[in-house]
Structure formats: C-alpha cells, structure tokens
C-alpha cells in the first residue's frame, strides 16, 4: 500500500477518502496517486545524493508518467525533467516548466524535434550516434545557437532484469559502445572543431527495475574512469556525468532501501573521484519509476466472477491491457486487494483479466483475495509508472482518469476519455 493508505472499517482508504467513494465520483478504471508517497521518494533522492565533491542534478524521467501537473511539481522542487519526443517537449513547455532544465533523450530524434531543442534552448541534448551529432552541428550553425550535449555511452553492463528493459548490452540500440575507440575518435573530432556544440560529459543508463546496488556501482566506476581517460586523451573538459535511472520499486516481494542503495553508490562515486584525482562538477540521476511507481494505484470494477470447466476462476474487470500492458509485455507481477472487503474468511484464487479479445489481456495471475461481489472494486498496487503512458484505444477502450490525493485534497490531473474523443483523429466522408 502507499504511504497514506490504511484499512478502516474493513475498507481501503487513501488519506481520509474511502477508495470506494473515489470510484463513485470518478468511475473506473481510475488511477490514483498518493502525493505524500511521491514527496517522500523525492526527499529521499534529494537527501541521499548529496556530495561535497560535486553538485547533484535530479532529473525526473517523465516517460514513467507525464502530465502538466507533475511538471509544475518538479519545477517547484527544483528538479530537471527528461523528454524523449517532440510531444514530451510540447507538454513540458506548455506547463510552464523551463526548457533550460530539460534533458532530451532518444535514439532517433527527428530533424524537427532537434530543431525545436536547438532553437528553444533545451538544456541538454543526449547524443545517441555520430549522424545525430552532425545534424545538431548543422542546426546549431544554421540558427547560430550554442548547444549543450552529452554523449550516450553503452558500458556493456548487464542488469538482472527483463531483457526488454536491459539497455546497456553491447548489442543494444542505444548509444556508442564504450569499446568503440574509433567511433569515439570521430565524434570527439567533431566536438573539437565545432565549439558551438559543447560536450558536457557522458550519459549511461543500464536498464530499469534494478534493485541491486552492484550494477549501479559498476556503471559509476566504469563511467568515471572512461570520462577521466577521455578528458586527458583529448584535452577536453568533461565535468558532467549522467548515470541515468533504473531504480526499481516494490511490485510484489522486492525489498528496496533507497537510502542504503544511494548512500553506498555515492560513497563509491566519492571514493573513485578522489582516487582518480578527477574533478566532477555535476552528477545527474534520472529516477522516474522510483518516484511515481509505488505511489500509483489503479482501481477497477469487478463485472463478473467466472469459473470454467476444470476449476479455473477469472475476475473480469472493466479495464485491462489497454491501461496496463506491462503484464503482457514484461510478464509483470502485481499485488491486488479488494477495496470493499479487506479481510474475509471467504477467499478466492483467480486471475484478474481485462475485456480485450486477447488471451494475454491479464493484469495479475493466481491472486488470492476476499471473494468479490459483482460491482466490488479491486486495487492494483504499484501502477504509477509506465501504465498510463502506454495506455491505448485498442478495442475502442477509453483511457482512464488520473487523480492525485494530497491529504484531504483531490486534484484531477488527467480527465477520462470519452467516445467523442475517439473521433478526433478520424476524417469524415
């Protein structure tokens, strides 16, 4: 459960609100964020990434969940935000967040997206490959704009997580291999001869949902040595380093102590800087899932309980893979609760499945919860990251509303889609 959740009168509450009351007002499916939980996570990252040797810049990885409301929160907290598309840049800019505090990612940024980044003063463009760098140089020259960049390096570190979210294998589509000396030479020559495009330092991201400190430590050690070596080799100051994100959260039985993990990582970084005699001005981290993942809970209505021949039982809900594709895509696992009856002697073991015409439309398997009546509400925990951003209109499904609960206050940050919204991109005869 999230920080503000509790069980009262055998029902699940968030703050002072019974979740069943929120459902009556906002309908289901409904995504609910606990602002106290988000604030606690942000404070942890702020506290445990401090160092006397460098400044730390915390960058919210918005691909986990992006809405103007969250941009405002990050602006007020002094954080940066990352973006991965022109659409992200548009939403961030329209929210009033300064583009000078945006890190722009992507392995295939379009010319139009790069033009926006160059002309509107995006803080840092993370360069994926040499052809992209050439395009940035061309645009910087054309528009007479100075551009700050980082170069994404693939350190070849294997993180023990799902293959689809391992991003630093040497076969990965992202970045320049740390072993590619010739590729680095060609890229550095471009920087050396084009001073309007500045290389601040390197970026690395080894994957997602990592709960062990060892891969982070290995990445930090390798990237610090690589940065220091490259700086000396080319006599080019490389005083910024971005170690990406990937910090895991608890979905079922994972145990994560962010304070301990971050403290161990920072101690290792400080020790390496001192041993290398390497001056680092700024270190960046990009937590996304770790900030919003556990803070989000999705609520569904149970429409039917179905038993099939052989004894298998299903709980049919009014959402599914259209608002949470992670189980189908990554075989993700979730904890589920009955909002209306937290504890009961009458239990059921069943799969929670959606209404799409797909056998893979599954939210959770072999869930044991109090037997729900038709119309009861299920809470699926730790859905705050990557569920809403991946939501879709498959089978004509509508994206859910999203609300944030802060004590006794509720803010609707994403309205529920309507059938009329489905028409907006279609042409008429």
For residue 50, give Cα distances in angstroms to 219, 244, 260, 293.
Answer: 19, 16, 13, 23
Instruction: Report d(CA 106, CA 423) in Å as an integer.
Output: 30
Question: One of 71, 219, 356, 357 is an active-site residue; which one?
Answer: 357
Q: Which two tokens mark 181? A: 């000396």
Instruction: Report d(CA 292, CA 301) in Å as an integer.
Output: 23
Q: How many residues does the chain have?
A: 429
Could you tell me whether strands 55-61 and 80-83 are parallel, antiparallel, or unpaired per DSSP bridges?
parallel
Which residue from 346, 395, 370 is spatially nearest to 11, judged by alpha carbons?
370
- Burial class of residue 423 in the structure, from the number of CB atoms within 10 Å of its CB (0-12 exposed, 13-18 middle, 19+ buried): exposed
Q: DSSP letter string over 229-273? A: HHHHHHT----EEE----B---SSS----HHHHHHHHHHHHHHHH
Asked about 357 being catalytic, the answer comes back as: yes
Instruction: Report d(CA 368, CA 140) in Å as an integer.
Output: 58
Q: Which two tokens mark 258? A: 């962010």
Instruction: Report d(CA 201, CA 149) in Å as an integer.
Output: 8
Instruction: Report d(CA 61, CA 165) in Å as an integer.
Output: 15
Strand pairing partners for 368? Answer: 349
Catalytic residue numbers read 357
């Amino acid at each position: 459960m999230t920080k503000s959740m509790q069980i009262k009168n055998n029902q699940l509450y968030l703050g002072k609100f019974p979740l069943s009351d929120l459902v009556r007002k906002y309908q289901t499916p409904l995504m609910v964020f606990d602002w106290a939980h988000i604030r606690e996570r942000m404070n942890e990252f702020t506290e445990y990434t401090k160092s006397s040797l460098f400044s730390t810049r915390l960058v919210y990885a918005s691909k986990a969940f992006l809405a103007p409301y969250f941009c405002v929160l990050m602006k007020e907290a002094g954080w940066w935000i990352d973006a991965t598309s022109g659409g992200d840049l548009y939403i961030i800019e329209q929210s009033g967040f300064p583009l000078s505090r945006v890190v722009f990612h992507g392995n295939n940024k379009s010319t139009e997206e790069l033009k926006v980044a160059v002309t509107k003063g995006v803080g840092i463009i993370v360069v994926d490959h040499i052809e992209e760098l050439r395009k940035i140089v061309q645009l910087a020259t054309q528009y007479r704009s100075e551009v700050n960049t980082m170069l994404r390096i693939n350190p070849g570190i294997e993180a023990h997580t799902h293959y689809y979210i391992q991003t630093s294998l040497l076969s990965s589509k992202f970045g320049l291999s740390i072993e590619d000396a010739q590729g680095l030479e060609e890229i550095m020559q471009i920087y050396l001869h084009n001073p309007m495009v500045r290389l601040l330092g390197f970026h690395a991201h080894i994957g997602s949902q990592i709960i062990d400190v060892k891969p982070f430590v290995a990445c930090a050690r390798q990237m610090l040595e690589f940065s220091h070596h490259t700086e000396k080799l080319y006599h080019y100051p490389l005083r910024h380093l971005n170690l990406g994100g990937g910090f895991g959260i608890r979905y079922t039985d994972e145990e994560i102590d962010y304070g301990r993990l971050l403290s161990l990582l920072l101690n290792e970084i400080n020790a390496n800087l001192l041993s290398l005699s390497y001056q680092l001005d700024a270190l960046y981290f990009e937590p996304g899932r770790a900030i919003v993942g556990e803070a989000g809970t999705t609520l569904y209505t149970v429409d039917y309980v179905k038993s099939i021949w052989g004894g298998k039982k299903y709980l049919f809900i009014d959402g599914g893979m259209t608002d949470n594709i992670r189980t189908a895509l990554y075989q993700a696992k979730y904890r589920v609760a009955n909002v209306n009856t937290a504890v009961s002697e009458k239990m059921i073991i069943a799969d929670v499945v959606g209404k799409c015409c797909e056998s893979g439309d599954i939210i959770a398997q072999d869930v044991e919860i109090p037997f729900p009546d038709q119309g009861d509400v299920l809470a699926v925990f730790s859905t705050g990251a990557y569920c809403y951003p991946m939501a879709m209109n498959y089978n004509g499904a509508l994206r859910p509303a999203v609300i944030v609960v802060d004590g006794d206050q509720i803010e609707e940050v994403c309205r529920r889609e309507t059938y009329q919204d489905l028409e907006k991109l279609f042409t008429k005869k």
